[in-house]
A = this chain, B = another copy of it.
């Protein structure tokens, strides 16, 4: 069975059918565009109504392009084959509108130069985590039967989809690098080269996650000390071999001294020593190290309320600012914890002006419903990207990641910061993402890398327009309305039946699906809510708590510190309050917990019912898969509602003022 066409069904390109098009230029991406045009039924003809040209425009924006229309001819001009390709996909998005009236020439270039997807794929199937760690869409598209797939045609399809969304980098293996996967770097680099070949026509460079212990694991050295000359030499030689096989190789992704992965600490070195050692090996070849800032004590003592996992990344990394090599990107999760439904923005992102920082987003729905629940994530990501750490008028997190933050060091500004890195939600599932509607998150993350200011709702409309394009390119209005209803606010809906008011977690340990309010409460993972019979929440104030609020610049250090100004949706992230504490919304914490969970399920029941409206209006396999997932979402949401309500009733003893039943 061929995989679902996602956002590039033939109907999405129907505006090109029969049109005369002319493509001027050379290179793999240009060839790809020619192929697309032919496939869409366009006629390659110098006397064209669509002309795409590689020429000497936009020298500083190698992926940019100019787009306009005059005298019946739509033109795309780019300084590179990649730019031409991105311009072509712009034409696709415009559809028939690309061939309407005149259109003044506009210039387009990505805000983020590095727009990367991280795959947490294993070559072997991990006994607990499966083949794709935190994967909810089947096996890996890269690996099967313990090796790189012989047939990589699906990877080529994937590359095409990603190119249309704007992604230009892909890391192809899990950051938790097991011994089997470590070998991709050395003896199996030829296989990696085959994967790189599949991505190359679509302007995408391949990265590898590597083990910091590789010099020992693969090189037989007695140490992986980053300052040891033999270790540095091993990395240099190994990296040279990588580039011999893959001249446009992107670089290394490293999770070091985190959750049990090896790192420089074992040798009394720090993250700078570790990252810079790999950077030195990559620098001659133009490669980059993505060094993850996801470092914390995962053997924390729950009895110790002074240790705060939220503080960890800042405490580890902020003091290192300015010491990382130019080709090191420190990759920072958008929140200080771990991809919860609601977190404040990581203060690390405001604390390292002399370091290239990438914002790490999670497309795979680990804590957001695991692609069994509808959860359209761009609103969440945009809260992070648009967050202004220095106050409303100041630069945003996206600015920081683009190298435009305040006091950005020269190399940070010149190299455009670290961009975005997002954990992919794709597997070998028929629909790529398990839940067909989770494709929207994959599409959107690429688009936001290019243009972070895109409105999340408009982006959803754009995705619908492509994915559900009917014959002639238009979307059935019933389909559009139903999808908007289901998806637009789905993250808020998911939040409102899961952990309340920013407190996070409350998921089943291990697999992280479904409710378990106390699941992490007495564990070493640093993820607590401290609910007792009187109240709930984590005191992270400077006045009486862990002091985490002090990691923010003004005004946020004050906004979060004070109960008067802390936003309701983050209240329990920052404060421990009595159940009777009154929110800015006017209701009490306990009644909010009761109400929002019950209301959410009622709302969900309505939405589930609306899916029936599109029966016969979307392909039957899509209809069936979504219907099946909605049934599970409904079941799970009811379970969340009932467990959370019961848990807090049993603790607080306060009845639900609305009288709705508590078990």
Q: Which residues of A contact B (CB under 8 A)?
A: 127-128, 302-303, 510, 515-519, 522, 531-534, 639, 642-643, 646-647, 649-653, 663
Report the separation of the CA atoms of residues A590 and B585 in the bound assembly, to the nearest whole angstrom: 38
Instruction: List 30 A–B pairs whose Cβ atoms lie within 8 Å, in order of A's numbering.
Output: A127-B127, A127-B128, A128-B128, A302-B663, A303-B642, A303-B663, A510-B510, A515-B522, A516-B518, A516-B519, A516-B522, A517-B518, A518-B518, A518-B647, A519-B519, A522-B639, A522-B642, A522-B646, A522-B647, A531-B650, A532-B649, A532-B650, A532-B651, A532-B653, A533-B533, A533-B651, A533-B653, A534-B653, A650-B651, A651-B651
- Closest Cβ neighbor of A302 among chain B residues: B663
Selected contact of A522 from candidates B128, B302, B532, B643, CB within 8 Å: B643
Measured between beta carbons, the chain B residues less than 8 angstroms from A522 are 515-516, 639, 642-643, 646-647
Measured between beta carbons, the chain B residues less than 8 angstroms from A534 are 653
Measured between beta carbons, the chain B residues less than 8 angstroms from A533 are 533, 650-653
Report the separation of the CA atoms of residues A25 and B519 in the bound assembly, to the nearest whole angstrom: 63
Measured between beta carbons, the chain B residues less than 8 angstroms from A303 are 642, 646, 663
Report the separation of the CA atoms of residues A650 and B522 in the bound assembly, to the nearest whole angstrom: 12
In whole Å, how far is A301's beta carbon from the nearest beta carbon of chain B?
9
Measured between beta carbons, the chain B residues less than 8 angstroms from A127 are 127-128
Measured between beta carbons, the chain B residues less than 8 angstroms from A663 are 302-303
Measured between beta carbons, the chain B residues less than 8 angstroms from A518 are 516-518, 647
Report the separation of the CA atoms of residues A500 and B532 in the bound assembly, to the nearest whole angstrom: 20
8 A-B pairs with the lowest CB-CB distances in the bound complex, closest first: A532-B650, A303-B663, A127-B127, A518-B518, A522-B643, A533-B533, A533-B653, A533-B651
In whole Å, how far is A373's beta carbon from the nearest beta carbon of chain B?
19
Measured between beta carbons, the chain B residues less than 8 angstroms from A302 are 663
- Closest Cβ neighbor of A515 among chain B residues: B522
In whole Å, how far is A519's beta carbon from the nearest beta carbon of chain B?
8
- Closest Cβ neighbor of A518 among chain B residues: B518
Report the separation of the CA atoms of residues A649 and B663 in the bound assembly, to the nearest whole angstrom: 22
Measured between beta carbons, the chain B residues less than 8 angstroms from A515 are 522
In whole Å, how far is A172's beta carbon from the nearest beta carbon of chain B?
25
- Give the one of A303, A510, A517 with max B CB within 10 A: A303
- Closest Cβ neighbor of A652 among chain B residues: B533
- Give the one of A128, A517, A532 with max B CB within 10 A: A532
Measured between beta carbons, the chain B residues less than 8 angstroms from A650 are 531-533, 651
Report the separation of the CA atoms of residues A532 and B653 in the bound assembly, to the nearest whole angstrom: 8
Measured between beta carbons, the chain B residues less than 8 angstroms from A643 are 522
In whole Å, how far is A196's beta carbon from the nearest beta carbon of chain B?
32
In whole Å, how far is A661's beta carbon from the nearest beta carbon of chain B?
9
Measured between beta carbons, the chain B residues less than 8 angstroms from A642 are 303, 522
Measured between beta carbons, the chain B residues less than 8 angstroms from A532 are 649-651, 653
- Supplied contacts A533-B651, A650-B651, 14 more A-B pairs, CB within 8 Å: A127-B127, A302-B663, A303-B663, A510-B510, A515-B522, A516-B518, A516-B519, A518-B518, A518-B647, A522-B639, A522-B647, A533-B652, A533-B653, A651-B651
In whole Å, how far is A494's beta carbon from the nearest beta carbon of chain B?
19
Report the separation of the CA atoms of residues A532 and B642 in the bound assembly, to the nearest whole angstrom: 15
In whole Å, how far is A279's beta carbon from the nearest beta carbon of chain B?
38
- Closest Cβ neighbor of A643 among chain B residues: B522
Report the separation of the CA atoms of residues A522 and B127 in the bound assembly, to the nearest whole angstrom: 26
Report the separation of the CA atoms of residues A303 and B642 in the bound assembly, to the nearest whole angstrom: 8
Report the separation of the CA atoms of residues A532 and B531 in the bound assembly, to the nearest whole angstrom: 13
Measured between beta carbons, the chain B residues less than 8 angstroms from A651 are 532-533, 650-651
Measured between beta carbons, the chain B residues less than 8 angstroms from A510 are 510
- Give the one of A127, A531, A650, A652 with max B CB within 10 A: A650
Report the separation of the CA atoms of residues A458 and B103 in the bound assembly, to the nearest whole angstrom: 98
Measured between beta carbons, the chain B residues less than 8 angstroms from A516 are 518-519, 522
Report the separation of the CA atoms of residues A649 and B531 in the bound assembly, to the nearest whole angstrom: 11
In whole Å, how far is A136's beta carbon from the nearest beta carbon of chain B?
18
- Give the one of A303, A522, A642, A649 with max B CB within 10 A: A522
Report the separation of the CA atoms of residues A603 and B639 in the bound assembly, to the nearest whole angstrom: 41
Report the separation of the CA atoms of residues A296 and B519 in the bound assembly, to the nearest whole angstrom: 25
In whole Å, how far is A523's beta carbon from the nearest beta carbon of chain B?
9
- Closest Cβ neighbor of A644 among chain B residues: B522
In whole Å, how far is A572's beta carbon from the nearest beta carbon of chain B?
16
In whole Å, how far is A650's beta carbon from the nearest beta carbon of chain B?
4
- Closest Cβ neighbor of A522 among chain B residues: B643
- Closest Cβ neighbor of A646 among chain B residues: B522
Measured between beta carbons, the chain B residues less than 8 angstroms from A646 are 303, 522
Report the separation of the CA atoms of residues A127 and B127 in the bound assembly, to the nearest whole angstrom: 5
Report the separation of the CA atoms of residues A309 and B515 in the bound assembly, to the nearest whole angstrom: 22
Measured between beta carbons, the chain B residues less than 8 angstroms from A519 are 516, 519
Report the separation of the CA atoms of residues A302 and B642 in the bound assembly, to the nearest whole angstrom: 10
- Give the one of A518, A647, A663 with max B CB within 10 A: A518
- Closest Cβ neighbor of A304 among chain B residues: B663
Measured between beta carbons, the chain B residues less than 8 angstroms from A653 are 532-534
Report the separation of the CA atoms of residues A517 and B651 in the bound assembly, to the nearest whole angstrom: 14
In whole Å, how far is A401's beta carbon from the nearest beta carbon of chain B?
39
- Closest Cβ neighbor of A532 among chain B residues: B650
Report the separation of the CA atoms of residues A652 and B303 in the bound assembly, to the nearest whole angstrom: 18
- Closest Cβ neighbor of A127 among chain B residues: B127
Report the separation of the CA atoms of residues A522 and B517 in the bound assembly, to the nearest whole angstrom: 10
- Closest Cβ neighbor of A510 among chain B residues: B510
In whole Å, how far is A128's beta carbon from the nearest beta carbon of chain B?
7
Report the separation of the CA atoms of residues A656 and B611 in the bound assembly, to the nearest whole angstrom: 55
Report the separation of the CA atoms of residues A650 and B649 in the bound assembly, to the nearest whole angstrom: 13
Report the separation of the CA atoms of residues A531 and B519 in the bound assembly, to the nearest whole angstrom: 16
Report the separation of the CA atoms of residues A517 and B653 in the bound assembly, to the nearest whole angstrom: 19
- Closest Cβ neighbor of A125 among chain B residues: B127
Report the separation of the CA atoms of residues A519 and B516 in the bound assembly, to the nearest whole angstrom: 8
In whole Å, how far is A242's beta carbon from the nearest beta carbon of chain B?
33
Report the separation of the CA atoms of residues A518 and B517 in the bound assembly, to the nearest whole angstrom: 8
In whole Å, how far is A488's beta carbon from the nearest beta carbon of chain B?
31
Measured between beta carbons, the chain B residues less than 8 angstroms from A649 are 532
In whole Å, how far is A656's beta carbon from the nearest beta carbon of chain B?
15
Report the separation of the CA atoms of residues A587 and B267 in the bound assembly, to the nearest whole angstrom: 54
